[in-house]
Amino acid sequence: MADALRFRNDEPVEEPAVTLDAFLEQPDASAVRLEAGEDPRRLIPELGRVKLVELGIPRFRDGRCFTAARILREAGYEGEIRAEGDVLVDLVAFMRRCGIDSFAPHSQLNRADIDASLRRYDHVYQHAADGAVPIWKLRHG
């Protein structure tokens, strides 16, 4: 696995992530891995102890990680959300908008390409977890 890419200022969580079921059974666990298709709402009662949510991305076409991240952010989760797996540079900006702030891609990503993709668009078209104001709202107040 390539080195993780983080957009956070705190220390990385070193604890290995456990499965969702194991996390819910282990009151001392603080890192959890959600596989595609698992319901992130099961974590909401436990968000106070979660330091890391790792979202498994089996292939880039699987967009369930976007929904999972947004559900957790809208529920008030402020800890690290890491996308792990088949992460493509083309999707990083959209993942960031949904609340994913750390990446562990299976294939190495070029940091310059990622930075360029994050600067590509000055405006957004819809609300998301990042709080950016959509362009229609800027135009029409």
CA dist., res. 107 & res. 85, Å (int): 8
**Strand partners for 85:** 57, 105
Prediction pTM value: 0.86
Enumerate helices (H) and strands (E) in the chain, giving the number of each: 5, 6
pLDDT tens for residues 75-101? 999 999 999 999 988 889 889 989 999
Please, are residues 68 and 62 in contact by the beta-carbon 8 Å criterion?
no
Q: Helix, strand or coil for residue 78? A: coil
Full pLDDT tens readout for the chain, 141 residues: 445 689 999 999 989 999 999 999 999 999 999 999 999 999 999 999 999 999 999 877 778 898 999 999 999 999 999 999 999 888 898 899 899 999 999 888 888 888 888 888 888 777 788 878 888 888 886
pLDDT tens for residues 97-106? 899 999 999 8
**What percent of the chain has pLDDT above 70?**
96
